[in-house]
Amino acid sequence: MLNKYSVINSLKKKNKTLMICNNKFTGEKVMIKIYKQGFEANCENERKVLSHIKSKRAPKLIEAIEDHINIISYVEGETLDQLIRKNIFGKDYALEITRQICMTLEEINLDYKHDIVHCDLKPSHIILNQGKAYIIDFENAVMGGDDPIYSNYGTIGYAAPEQYGLDSISHETDIYAIGVMLYEMIATDKNTYSDFSIDQNNYITLDLKSIVRNCTEHKKCNRYDNVSSLINDIKLVNNFWKQTC
């Protein structure tokens, strides 16, 4: 089934092999994800989550093969991780990227009655293309329901406290990671985010510090309760800057 694809590039990871390919007949570029033995549950979870996402700002599941291969649409662009390393972010650009990430999460949840929580938001999972943010890699995502959901998936530095077993997973979990990414975009010292690092960073204005803290409070009940509230604060900060310039 894979012989209709020609490989452009490949990358081996801990739990899977990623192959960027072209469909030989249609020319469509795709991402083939071949999960290693023992990670079939991740493969199945990605299929389930992507089947519920209608947003154009997330990949589409094209084909599922056996229990360990997913073929998904390829998202063109640069990762946020690549852009952070270039150190090109001013305040306006960082806030606009943050707003775009929030809008993508809103769109992803638009047609699903329960929250879809990504659980592993980080710069390498954000693709930027023509001013829009796309979110990829949903293999660890959870779909909320009537009962609390607990998950210990996530990346150290971006995972919220509740991902270490302190509370249930909710959309505030992803908001925590958004706050860490905003800090990384605007910080000049490039230290790992912490309460101490943001307090000591005199480059970051108080209004931006407030937004980052409201995203990254230890208790999720003290964070923004949804991305719309975060977007509103971003708009308020932007409007204030425009009025004082």
**Tens digits of residue pLDDT in 173-182:** 999 999 999 9
Per-residue confidence (pLDDT) for residue 111, from 0 to 100: 64
Residue 111 to residues 22, 72, 98, 135, 149, Cα–Cα distance (Å): 30, 20, 22, 16, 20
The residue from 56, 73, 90 where one domain ends is 73
**Helix intervals (H) in the chain:** 40-52, 80-86, 91-108, 171-186, 195-200, 206-216, 227-244
* Helix, strand and coil percent figures for the chain, each rounded to 5: 40, 20, 40
- The number of domains in the chain is 2
CA–CA separation, 159 and 154 (whole Å): 5
Per-residue confidence (pLDDT) for residue 56, from 0 to 100: 92
154 shares its domain with 122: yes
127 forms bridges with which residues in the sheet? 79, 134
- In this structure, what token pair is assigned to residue 164? 């270490």
Per-residue confidence (pLDDT) for residue 190, from 0 to 100: 61
Per-residue confidence (pLDDT) for residue 245, from 0 to 100: 44
Q: Is 20 helix (H, G, I), strand (E, B) or coil?
A: strand
CA–CA separation, 99 and 117 (whole Å): 17
Per-residue confidence (pLDDT) for residue 109, from 0 to 100: 87
202 shares its domain with 236: yes
Contact 113, 208 (CB under 8 A): no
CA–CA separation, 93 and 71 (whole Å): 33
pLDDT in tens, the chain (245 residues): 789 999 999 999 999 999 999 999 999 999 999 999 999 999 999 999 999 998 999 999 999 999 999 999 999 999 999 999 888 888 899 999 999 999 999 999 886 666 899 999 999 999 999 989 999 999 999 987 656 778 778 999 999 999 988 789 999 999 999 999 999 998 866 666 776 677 777 778 889 999 999 999 999 999 999 999 999 999 998 764 454 44
202 shares its domain with 97: yes
Domain containing 65 equals 2-73
121 shares its domain with 67: no
102 shares its domain with 221: yes
CA-angle at 163, arms to 174 and 196, nearest 5°: 75
Total residue length of the chain:
245
Contact 211, 223 (CB under 8 A): no
Per-residue confidence (pLDDT) for residue 151, from 0 to 100: 77
22 shares its domain with 55: yes
Per-residue confidence (pLDDT) for residue 196, from 0 to 100: 64
Specify the pTM.
0.91
